[in-house]
C-alpha cells in the first residue's frame, strides 16, 4: 500500500544546498522504517501546515532540511494507528509541532507519519484537528511568547504591547490572544493598507509601519512598550528593545528581517528590560501541554478560522514561495487527504 507525501531530495555540500528537488511522491510504508526511534508512533495524518520554516525547506534554502530524502512539514495532526509507546493508543487524536520533524526527521506533509512520542500531545477536547493544525507551530510559538511575557510580569494594565510581523502566522495568533487577555496591542506591519482592517479585526488597537523599525535607532528611545513579541529580529527587535519601558519583557521568536541583533546593553542595564528567547522546537512536554491548554482557552476560535486558509497537499510548493515572499496572511492548513 502506498501513501502520498511531499518529498525533498537534495545534496548538501559545506552547508550549501545542491540538486534540490521537492515533489509529490507515492511512497511505500517501508520508507518510514527506522523513523520515530525505539518506540515509534504511527499516525494517519489529517492535516499539516505551511510555516515560514516549511517554506525555506520546500524552496531549497539551507538550514532546515538536514537529511535527504526528507518528508517536510514541521507540524502534523492526525490519528494514532499503532504505538510502541504506552502513552498513546490507536484512535488517539494527536498534534505534533517541531521536535525535529520536517528538519532532521520525516514530517507531516504526507498521509502517514511515524514519529517519536516525546513531543506528541493529545489534542485538548476543545480543539478540532483542523483548528489544531491552524494553530500549528506558529500559533504554538505565539502562545509560548505570551507565556514568556506573563512570566516576565507583563500584565495588561502595565501598558501597550507591540507585535511585529503582525500579519504573519505568529503575529496574527499573538494579536488575537493578547487582545482576548485584555492587552492593548500595537501591530507592526509592512502591509498597513492591505491588512490594516484584518489586524484591527484580530484585536490590534494601533498599527505602525514596519519601515519605522527597519533602521537601527538610538540605544535608548522613548518608552512605549510594556512588552513585545517579535518575529522580525535585526533592527526591528533592536528598536523594540530600545523603546521598552522599565522592567518590560520582549520575546524574540523569529528572523523575518534578519538574524542579526544590532543593539547595545543599554535597555538591559538602564531599564532592566528582559529579552526572552522562544524555541518552539524543543519546548518540554510540560510546557507543550500548558501552551496547548492555554490556546484552547484563550484563542478566540472564530478569529482563528478567519485567519486560516486551507490548501491541498499538491499546493504546498506554490505556498512555500508565497510565504517566503511575505505574501501569506495568517495561517495555512494543508489537508493532506485532499
Ligand X SMILES: NC(=O)c1ccc[n+]([C@@H]2O[C@H](COP(=O)([O-])OP(=O)(O)OC[C@H]3O[C@@H](n4cnc5c(N)ncnc54)[C@H](OP(=O)(O)O)[C@@H]3O)[C@@H](O)[C@H]2O)c1
- Helices 192-202 & 169-180 angle (0-180, nearest 10): 40
The string of DSSP letters for 210-261 reads GGGGSS---SS----EEEEEESSBHHHHHHHHHTEEEEEEEEE---SSBS--
Q: Which is nearer to ligand X, 75 or 111 (CB)?
A: 75
Q: Which is nearer to ligand X, 129 or 168 (CB)?
A: 168
Q: Which is nearer to ligand X, 129 or 136 (CB)?
A: 136
User: CA 129 → CA 195, 196, 284, 330, distances in Å?
Assistant: 27, 29, 22, 18
Q: Which is nearer to ligand X, 70 or 170 (CB)?
A: 170
CB of 97 to ligand X, least distance (A): 9
Q: Which is nearer to ligand X, 83 or 231 (CB)?
A: 231
The string of DSSP letters for 306-334 reads HTEEEEEGGGHHHHHHHHHTT---SEEEE
Burial class of residue 296, CB neighbours in 10 A (0-12, 13-18, 19+): middle
CB of 224 to ligand X, least distance (A): 18
Q: Which is nearer to ligand X, 109 or 323 (CB)?
A: 323
Q: Which is nearer to ligand X, 138 or 333 (CB)?
A: 138
Within the chain, strands assigned E span 2-13, 16-28, 40-49, 75-83, 93-97, 112-116, 121-122, 161-164, 185-189, 204-209, 225-230, 244-252, 274-277, 308-312, 331-335
CB of 231 to ligand X, least distance (A): 4
CB of 289 to ligand X, least distance (A): 17
CB of 217 to ligand X, least distance (A): 15
* Nearest-angstrom CA–CA distance, 124 and 143: 15
CB of 58 to ligand X, least distance (A): 13
Residue number with the smallest Cβ distance to ligand X:
168
Within 50-111, strands assigned E span 75-83, 93-97
CB of 78 to ligand X, least distance (A): 20
- Give the residues lining the site for ligand X (CB under 6 A): 51-53, 137-138, 141, 165-171, 189-191, 210, 231-232, 236, 253-257, 278-281, 323, 326, 328
Burial 67-85 (b: 16+ CB within 10 A, else e): eeebbbbbbbbbbbeebeb
CB of 157 to ligand X, least distance (A): 27
For residues 102 and 78, the answer to whether their CB atoms sit within 8 Å is no
For residues 175 and 143, the answer to whether their CB atoms sit within 8 Å is no
Q: Which is nearer to ligand X, 53 or 294 (CB)?
A: 53
* Nearest-angstrom CA–CA distance, 187 and 171: 8
Amino acid at each position: 500500500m502506498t501513501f502520498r507525501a511531499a518529498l525533498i531530495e537534495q545534496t548538501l555540500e559545506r552547508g550549501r544546498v545542491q540538486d534540490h528537488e521537492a515533489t509529490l511522491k507515492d511512497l511505500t510504508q517501508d520508507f518510514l522504517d527506522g523513523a520515530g526511534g525505539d518506540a515509534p508512533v504511527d499516525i494517519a495524518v489529517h492535516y499539516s501546515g505551511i510555516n515560514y520554516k516549511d517554506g525555506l525547506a520546500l524552496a531549497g534554502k539551507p538550514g532546515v532540511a538536514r537529511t535527504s530524502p526528507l518528508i517536510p512539514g514541521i507540524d502534523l495532526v492526525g490519528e494514532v494507528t499503532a504505538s510502541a509507546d504506552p502513552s498513546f493508543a490507536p484512535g488517539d487524536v494527536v498534534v505534533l509541532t517541531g521536535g525535529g520533524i520536517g528538519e532532521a526527521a520525516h514530517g507531516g506533509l504526507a498521509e502517514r507519519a511515524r514519529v517519536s512520542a516525546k513531543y506528541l500531545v493529545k489534542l485538548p477536547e476543545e480543539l478540532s484537528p483542523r483548528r489544531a493544525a491552524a494553530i500549528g507551530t506558529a500559533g504554538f510559538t505565539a502562545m509560548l511568547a505570551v507565556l514568556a511575557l506573563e512570566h516576565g510580569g507583563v500584565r495588561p494594565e502595565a501598558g501597550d504591547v507591540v507585535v511585529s510581523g503582525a500579519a504573519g502566522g505568529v503575529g496574527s495568533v499573538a494579536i488575537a490572544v493578547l487582545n482576548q487577555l485584555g492587552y492593548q496591542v500595537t501591530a507592526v506591519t509592512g502591509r498597513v493598507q492591505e491588512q490594516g482592517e484584518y489586524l484591527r479585526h484580530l484585536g490590534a488597537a494601533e498599527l505602525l509601519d514596519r519601515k519605522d523599525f527597519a533602521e537601527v535607532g538610538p540605544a535608548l528611545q522613548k518608552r512605549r512598550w510594556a512588552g513585545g513579541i517579535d518575529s522580525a529580529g535585526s533592527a526591528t527587535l533592536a528598536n523594540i528593545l530600545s523603546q521598552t519601558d522599565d522592567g518590560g519583557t520582549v520575546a524574540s521568536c523569529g528572523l523575518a528581517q534578519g538574524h542579526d541583533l544590532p543593539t547595545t546593553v543599554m535597555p538591559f542595564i538602564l531599564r532592566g528590560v528582559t529579552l526572552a528567547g522562544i524555541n518552539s522546537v524543543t519546548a518540554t512536554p510540560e510546557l507543550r501541554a500548558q501552551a496547548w491548554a492555554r490556546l484552547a482557552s484563550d484563542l478566540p476560535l472564530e478569529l482563528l478560522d478567519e485567519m486560516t486558509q486551507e490548501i491541498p497537499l499538491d499546493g504546498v510548493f506554490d505556498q512555500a514561495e508565497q510565504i517566503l515572499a511575505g505574501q501569506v496572511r495568517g495561517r495555512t492548513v494543508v489537508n493532506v487527504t485532499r
